[in-house]
């Protein structure tokens, strides 16, 4: 008998995370939405539509939470996509308040999820991000700056994350 075999799934979003266990540092992630989401916007993006987020757990774990029902069921994004094509009263998994995550932009992820884009977590924003006591706002700032960088390249950020906007808001309120 050889040595015991350990199968560890590596995260594609962080060199230190496995896909179930986070490395305890923070992570930035980018989700590309299906082109159909463009129907919701008057001003279209020629490049595409992205959600930019941050999480303290592994990106895989956080991703599963977006598709988890309150009863614990995890719905496959492709099955959910087909379900959303049905009339609302025939849908098995509508936006009925039965999801663990209800925050504003999350229903858009459920409706239009295409894929993760770890390749768009551009330098110098690569994961993981250590918590710094002296700089508590670091991960928010990085998230906003990454979003601005992608927006400058022509992507539309569907959850409104932006360091420029954050700064403006802060200046206006002081």
The contact set with Zn ion (CB under 5 A) reads: 14, 16-17, 23, 128
For residues 122, 123, 128, 132, the Cα torsion angle rounded to the nearest 10 degrees is: -120
Which tokens is 119 given? 């390749």
CB of 161 to Zn ion, least distance (A): 20
CB of 58 to Zn ion, least distance (A): 6
Please answer whether residues 47 and 154 qualify as being in contact, where contact means their C-beta atoms are separated by less than 8 angstroms: yes
CB of 140 to Zn ion, least distance (A): 18
Please answer whether residues 151 and 47 qualify as being in contact, where contact means their C-beta atoms are separated by less than 8 angstroms: no
CB of 62 to Zn ion, least distance (A): 11
Which is closer to Zn ion, CB of 16 or CB of 149? 16
Q: 163-173 and 138-152 are packed helices; what angle lies between their axes, rounded to 10 degrees? A: 120
* Chain center to CA of 15: 18
Which is closer to Zn ion, CB of 14 or CB of 114? 14
Which is closer to Zn ion, CB of 16 or CB of 138? 16
Which is closer to Zn ion, CB of 17 or CB of 151? 17
Which is closer to Zn ion, CB of 3 or CB of 123? 123
Which tokens is 144 given? 């906003």
- ∠30-96-109 over CA atoms, to 5°? 10
CB of 103 to Zn ion, least distance (A): 22
């Amino acid at each position: 008998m050889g040595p015991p075999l350990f199968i560890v799934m590596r995260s594609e979003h962080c060199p230190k995370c496995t896909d179930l266990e986070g490395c305890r540092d923070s992570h930035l992630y980018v989700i590309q939405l299906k082109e159909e989401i463009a129907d919701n916007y008057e001003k279209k993006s020629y490049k595409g539509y992205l959600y930019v987020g941050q999480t303290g757990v592994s990106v895989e774990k956080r991703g599963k939470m977006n598709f988890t029902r309150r009863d614990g069921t995890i719905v496959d994004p492709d099955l959910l996509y087909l379900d959303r094509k049905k009339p609302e009263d025939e849908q098995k998994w509508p936006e009925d308040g039965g999801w663990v995550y209800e925050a504003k932009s999350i229903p858009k992820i459920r409706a239009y999820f295409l894929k993760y884009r770890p390749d768009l977590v551009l330098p110098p924003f690569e994961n993981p991000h250590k918590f710094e006591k002296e700089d508590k706002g670091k991960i928010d700032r990085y998230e906003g700056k990454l979003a601005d960088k992608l927006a400058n390249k022509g992507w539309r950020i569907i959850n409104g994350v932006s360091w420029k906007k954050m700064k403006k808001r802060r200046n206006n309120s002081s």
